[in-house]
């Protein structure tokens, strides 16, 4: 799923690293003109994570409708 959003591993690392920066690092990036690129990387990471979560919910719903025995087993495991 992440390959649809990110061209390579470095771009994914940039998105993850952008979420874990201090206020001073964000100010430095804003003053150096890289703010838009960093915001874009963060946005792509957020959208990819949300879509992955929705995909898991969709799969769970499909299994729930077609194989209720698996769902009962999963509910007991939690």
Domain residue extents for the chain: 2-77
The pLDDT value recorded for residue 50 is 94
pLDDT above 90 covers a percentage of the chain that reads 17
Residue 29 has pLDDT above 80, yes or no: yes
CA nearest to 36, candidates 13, 12, 18: 18
> Kindly report the CA angle at 21 between 52 and 40, in degrees rounded to 5?
50
Q: How far apart are CA 57 and CA 2, in angstroms?
A: 17
31-65: per-residue pLDDT in tens?
998 888 888 888 999 999 999 999 998 888 888 78
Residue 53 pLDDT: 92
Q: What is the pLDDT of residue 78?
A: 66
Q: Is the pTM of the predicted complex or chain greater than 0.75?
A: no
Based on its alpha-carbon atoms, the radius of gyration of the chain, rounded to whole angstroms, reads 18
């Amino acid at each position: 799923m992440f390959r649809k959003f990110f061209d390579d591993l470095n771009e994914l690392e940039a998105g993850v690293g952008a979420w874990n920066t201090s206020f001073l690092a964000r100010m430095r990036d804003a003053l150096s003109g890289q703010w838009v690129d960093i915001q874009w990387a963060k946005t792509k990471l957020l959208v990819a994570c949300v879509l992955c979560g929705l995909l898991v919910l969709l799969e769970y719903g499909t299994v729930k409708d077609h194989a209720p025995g698996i769902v009962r087993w999963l509910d007991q495991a939690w």
